[in-house]
Copies of this chain bind each other. A is one copy, B any other.
Amino acid sequence: MSLDLLIEKIVKTQNPTVVGLDPKLEYVPEFIKKKAFVKYGMNPKGAAKAILKFNKGIIDAIYDIVPAVKPQLAFYEMLGVEGVKAFHKTIVYAKERGLYVIADGKRNDIGSTAEGYAAAYLGKIKIGEELYSPFPVDALTVNGYLGSDGIMPFTDACKKYDKGIFVLVKTSNPSSGELQDKVVGKVTGFADGDTIYEIMGRMCEKWGAAGKKRYGYSGVGAVVGATYPEQIKELREMLPYTFFLIPGYGAQGGRAEDLKSAFDKNGLGGIVNSSRAIMCAYQKEKCNQKDFAEAARREALKMKEALMEHIGIIKLP
């Protein structure tokens, strides 16, 4: 159970970022949509083929400068079965290009149901004597509201198949505090006055404790929003073995200068997500739509530079 592969890729690219592959149909350049609709029909199949083509273009443009991609399952599920097919083809393509793939599904359940999700994304299923990897990604985001019963099936799969999870701890959205910032009173095993996100963070540290830690971080990461820099700083100090997946950079308000504290002295400890800014860079640049992939690469490099200005250098411990 580890995030070692991710960490190695971050060091190799000197880039602690992940490109979110959240291909809403309106993000896709017209010429790609037109071609797909002509060939497959103006329907979910045509739309799914268009987003797959778009994803492949983005992947081709960034795979050598970015360590990871994070497809968001909702945007594929919303195109039905055809969308899920496009998700599958996207992750296979990204893996072929050497990218670390994080499925952003925020899955959660208990017992054999959680085992089902774990098998779907992190593990294997057995049919007859053959093993199959339904959606072979490297890591999955999960929601820990159900407690340890809801996490163990995932960490078991992580151990067995050397995969990772990222547990929602302090999310980037404005209302994340409605639950996550609640201050807990008398709780056995925790100091008075802990917030729910702190408790969730400490559970991540506990769940990850049994995992391999070649580079100091376990296979149980935490989702911590870029929009809450104070909490990132606090959680970084509190959770030394927990790697952070950091959404909310850019459009949502998270700034590069606020994220320095997410990283340790080696520049490790976090990976910052950007989705729309990179996917839709061609819209912002107002360049030729055919240059959408090059525009995405330019934006990805810009983001890398903005972060690395504050981090300096990233090295293995």
Contacts and interface: CB of A to CB of B under 8 A. Distances in A.
Interface string A22-48: 101100000000000100001110110
A132 B80 contact: yes
Interface in A174-200: 174-180, 182-187, 192-193, 196, 199-200
Interface string A73-93: 011011111011100100000
A117 interface: yes
Contacts of A117: 74, 77-78
A209 to B, nearest CB: 16
A187 B183 contact: yes
A132 B178 CA distance: 34
How many subunits of this chain does the assembly comprise?
Answer: 2
Given A74-B117, A80-B134, A132-B80, A168 B146 contact: yes
Contact of A37 (B128, B145, B192, B196): B128
Contacts of A178: 147-148, 203
A85 to B, nearest CB: 5
A150 interface: yes
28 contacts: A22-B113, A24-B112, A24-B116, A37-B128, A42-B127, A42-B130, A43-B130, A44-B125, A46-B127, A74-B107, A77-B117, A78-B120, A79-B125, A79-B134, A80-B135, A81-B81, A106-B109, A110-B173, A146-B171, A146-B175, A146-B179, A147-B176, A147-B180, A149-B174, A182-B184, A182-B196, A183-B184, A185-B192
Interface of A: 22, 24-25, 37, 42-44, 46-47, 72, 74-75, 77-81, 83-85, 88, 106-114, 116-117, 119-121, 125, 127-128, 130, 132, 134-135, 143-150, 168, 171-180, 182-187, 192-193, 196, 199-200, 203
